[in-house]
Each structure stands twice: as structure tokens, then as C-alpha cells.
Amino acid sequence: MQVLQSGRFAVSTWSLHRLLGAVYGYSPDPSKSAALKQPSGPGGAALIDMPAALAARGIHRLEVCSFHLPSLDAAYMSELRDAMAASNVLFQTLLVEDGDPSHLETAERDVRWMADWIDIAAALGAQRMRVIAGKQKPTQENLARAARHLDWLADKAEGSNVRVVVENWFDLLPSPAEMNWLLDELGGKVGLNGDLGNWAAPAKYEGLADIMGRAEICHAKADYSAAGLDAGDYRKCLEMCEKAGYTGPFTLIYDSPFFADEWDGILLQKQFIEDFLREAPARKAG
């Protein structure tokens, strides 16, 4: 297994949404409220406690969904950054969960709102800020609009020590053709967070093999059924990452009611990937 600073595994707070409970709907849309909501129930833990919870399980990278931040005040952000440092947990990515740079009418508003999160990401010590590339249909006009606004956003992040990344997500990027076009158009100014679960099988496998060589980080989401983790699908996705030459960290994305305790699902996925990576020499020899 490749040795990376802070290890090969991260956890997104999305994987702990039942445990955290509270969400705050930050949005560029003035009609939406950022007031506290509890769509998954009251939860049993606070975000500030998550770095220590990760470290106790041998995981030292964290990704935080923007809607899980209970405050954007400087004092709170400093407290959270201190909690990360105290547990030796790296803030890998701030996931900005709204906005649409491809929208004809609201793209400029939305990307300016996204730019406001650069300072927040920097204050938190995040290495990256994942934004939505676009939600509109993948017409050339919409792709070009998204590219133009993302290029501007990357310029705004210059000098902040925060790298902007996008994801193979939503209608704008349904296949490698659009994903690769966008990355090429941006010329390296914006990186890729490859997600294993956003595209549908069976086409997703070759799609992942096509794009994961360009990925800096990976959302390693597993599918579940009544029988448990879909091992065949998960292994195939990991094989495509290996085929593409991906050597970065894996962010464990658990999004299933299969386990009452979300940590059980997270750690099951971690063990699955560890076993897969441990078998790599045998696969190469075969």
C-alpha cells in the first residue's frame, strides 16, 4: 500500500449524517434558509468531536460538507481547526454543497457565492474545496459556461493554499467525454475528485477507468442491498481505479440504512479497500 501523509483513508461527514443530525442550508439562493434543520433526527454528536472520533479509528483525513458547519464565525472555525490539529487529522476537503456554475440565469451569482467559501476553507485549513461543476444538461453552451466560471473561481483561489476540485456529478458531467473536456478546458487549474458511485453500472466501470488517472482524491462510495455491501460492484470500481493508476486517498462514503451505527459501515468499507490493496502484488504477478 502506498504511504501517504496522514494515511490513505478519509471520511466525509456525509457518511455520518445520522450521527451528526444537524444541517445548515447555506445557499446562494436568498429564498433558502440556513437555519438549523434535523432531517436525520437530532443526532448524537457534534462536528467538533469528529476529528477525535476519526483518530480513535485510525483515520487521519476528514472531509466536511458545508451544511454540517454549525457556524462560519472565525472563533468556531479556529476551534475546529485546533481540534483537527490536536487529533492529527488533516482537513482534506471542504465540500461546498450548493451552487450551479452552468445555469444560464444564476451561474454568476452562484460562483461568486462559491468564491466566498475560499476564505472559509483557508481558515479551516482545508487542502481542497470541492464545488459542483454544474447541474444543467451537457450542452456545449452549458459546459462552456461552467468552464468559464470555474476558471474564474480557480483564479480567486490562487494564493489561498486551497485547490478547487470538481466531481463527476450531476447532469453536466454524465460521462468521461464531458468530464475530460472540462478538465482539459481548465488546463489543470481545477482538479478532480472522482466518485465511484455517481455514475450507473455497467457503463461506469470503463468510465472510471477513463477518468481516475486524473483524480487527486476519490469518494469511495459502496452500494448496499438487503444482503449487505455489494462486493462485486465495489471490487470492480477499485479495479478500475487500479487500472487507471490512481494512487491517492480513498474517502469512505457510507450512505445506507444497513447498519444502525454508521461507523460499522464506514469501517467495513475501509477493511474491504485495505484487503484489495493488500492483494495488489498478487494481481500484478498473475
CA–CA dist 174, 207 (Å, integer): 10
Task: Kindly compute the dihedral angle of the four CA atoms of residues 159, 165, 171, 175, in this order, to the nearest 10 degrees.
Answer: 130
Would you tell me which CATH number, out of the four given (3.30.420.40, 3.40.50.1110, 3.20.20.150, 1.10.645.10), belongs to the domain 9-285?
A: 3.20.20.150
CA–CA dist 64, 50 (Å, integer): 10
Query: pLDDT 10s per residue in the chain (286 long)?
Result: 345 788 999 999 999 999 999 999 999 999 999 999 999 999 999 999 999 999 999 999 999 999 999 999 999 999 999 999 999 999 999 999 999 999 999 999 999 999 999 999 999 999 999 999 999 999 999 999 999 999 999 999 999 999 999 999 999 999 999 999 999 999 999 999 999 999 999 999 999 999 999 999 999 999 998 889 999 999 999 999 999 999 999 999 999 999 999 999 999 999 999 999 999 988 888 7
The pLDDT of residue 94: 99
Largest CA distance in the chain: 58
User: What is the reported pTM?
Assistant: 0.97
Which residues lie below 8 Å from residue 213, measured CB to CB, with a gap of 6+? 244, 245, 246
